[in-house]
Structure 1
Amino acid sequence: MHNELVSIGPVTIYGYGMMIALGILVAYKMVLYRAATEQIEQSHISSLTFLSLLGGFAGAKLLYWITQINKIVNDPGIVLNVSEGFVIYGGIIGGILAGYAYCRKKKINFFQHLDLFIPSIALAQGFGRIGCLLAGCCYGEETQSWFGITFHHSEFAPNDVKLVPTQIMESLLNFSLFFALIYVAKKYRPHPGGIAGLYLVMYSLGRFGIEFFRGDLIRGQFGGLATSQWIAIGVVLVTSLAFLKNIRKKPAIFEL
């Protein structure tokens, strides 16, 4: 895999950035399409998308800095590198919080819009992990298995050794989640927040399993589990408690 796809004079198009941009574009178009089909007012979609992207970027960067706090203490210059080092959970949390703040200010239904955006978040993540594959970041541990992949020009992953293709695994997870969430949204009539809760639980469980095969330990570990696995456990517990609380108020979260 080569991250530098095309160079035109001083301008270089990188695979990682291109896939991120493509994922955002496709996800945005999907949100607009679903808003139209579900007769949801589209006037707030662009603002929500822009602010959620900003919140997601800030959250992903902040959580990365938190996981790297010891290194930052020794080398504060790390915080000046804004192009590398992100944690997806921080991006999800930051984006949701930014969206909540906007909905609160505009007095529109937060959970309705969250459910509208959530499948597209999974879709964008699927494209983003393809970008990770092209760049070589978020790589897996060494393996001798037939499905291992070998990098030769990566600035992040170990080169010339077979690695578990965790980028492909998570990309497939996210694309599968996108289709599953769209199906549930069409087949059932979930209460507001139901699609978002389903995504948080399913993504966290899938991510928890994939983390066992990750080889980039730079993200930190505690008690034998990676930082992202502890976050996944917390997300599943909090979301499950919210589901149980909602069930007590309403007999069914999903109605036929």
Structure 2
Amino acid sequence: MILAFLETLKWGIDPVIFELGPLAPRWYGLLFAGAFVSGYMFGVRMWKDSGRKVEEMESVLTWILVATVIGARLGHVIFYDPSYYLRNLGEVLAIWKGGLASHGAAIGIIIAMYYLAKKHANMSFWWLADRVVIPTAVGGAFIRTGNFFNSEIYGHETDSVFGVIFTNLPGPMGMVPRHPTMLYEAVLCIAVFAVLWFIYKKYKAHPPEGSLFGTFLILLFTGRFFLEYTKIPQANFASDWMFNMGQLLSIPMVLIGIYIVVKMVDWRKPGPDASI
């Protein structure tokens, strides 16, 4: 019965939305853009809540966008397939061929936030980090949905009711139901956003500094660690390790998050810019 039900869950949509001469927009690109549109909307809301200028937020968002793309690409190159790119240095910049790593994006964003906090007056790293992770969580849901449209970052074979047959995959791979891991991660991002937004509203838009950032690291990367068990390994050289590359990169993120929320955050009072 379950297998008969799974036969109806087939996914093989064309990643290209339409073609008009040289113009061929893709679903992934549309959803990637949606991630930053949503980020802009939440950014405007949070900057206004803190009495800061929206123009400042727009500058911050631009830096975060650049850091996300560069960090995600270098993360893929360094963490997941370094030997290939050492042999093909010209491919490092070929983002249109795929290959973006969320852990690399996280590192890139953290570096950008450190720079931005130094650049802007009366802006601490922790204040900025708390306001970046909310749109980041929402954006992650958009991007992972884009991966679903591309039939990439899929999981192992499964006979569960959640299995999806990705008909775009080559040969026998596209004939069996697999975990739609990218959708699991999209749901995880939405859940993380819900928790962060609850904390943000609980403290009336002035959460204790570091609280959202630390909570984000714990929730997102703990979820990522366990979801990696459903995913096809992305780094071939780590296929026989106890933990795959995604899990190894998640562990330090979780530990940093725990340190922040336990040792650094004073949960008894709102952030220093609060007026309550």
Using the size of structure 2 for normalisation, the TM-score is: 0.83
- Report the Cα offset of residue 219 of structure 1: 6.2
Aligned 1:1-256 pairs, distance under 5 A = 1-67=13-79, 68-83=81-96, 84-109=98-123, 110-154=125-169, 158-188=173-203, 190-218=207-235, 220-221=237-238, 223-246=241-264, 250=266, 252=268
Using the size of structure 1 for normalisation, the TM-score is: 0.90
Provide the rounded CA distance (Å) in 1 between the counterparts of 2:58 and 2:176: 44
Identity of aligned pairs, percent?
Answer: 24
The one-letter code matched in structure 2 to 1:47 is: S
Give deviations 1:199-233, integer Å, cap 9, x for gaps. Answer: 01100111011100001433652632111111111
Q: How many aligned positions are there?
A: 253
Give deviations 1:140-199, integer Å, cap 9, x for gaps. Answer: 1111222211112258x9422211010110001101111211111111353211101100
- Report the Cα offset of residue 10 of structure 1: 2.2
Farther off after superposition, 163-172 or 35-44: 35-44
Structure 2: unaligned runs, 5 residues or longer = 1-12
- Report the Cα offset of residue 253 of structure 1: 7.1
Give deviations 1:17-61, integer Å, cap 9, x for gaps. Answer: 111111211121111122223433323101111111111211111
Provide the rounded CA distance (Å) in 1 between the counterparts of 2:153 and 2:61: 25
The one-letter code matched in structure 2 to 1:223 is: W
Provide the rounded CA distance (Å) in 2 between the counterparts of 1:253 and 1:93: 29
Q: What secondary structure sits across from 1:159 in the alignment?
A: helix
Provide the rounded CA distance (Å) in 1 between the counterparts of 2:48 and 2:269: 24
Give deviations 1:63-120, integer Å, cap 9, x for gaps. Answer: 1111211222344343242222111011011012112202202233122222112110
- Whether contact under 8 Å (1:2, 1:154) holds in the other structure is no
The CA RMSD measured in Å over matched residues stands at 2.3
The one-letter code matched in structure 1 to 2:180 is: P
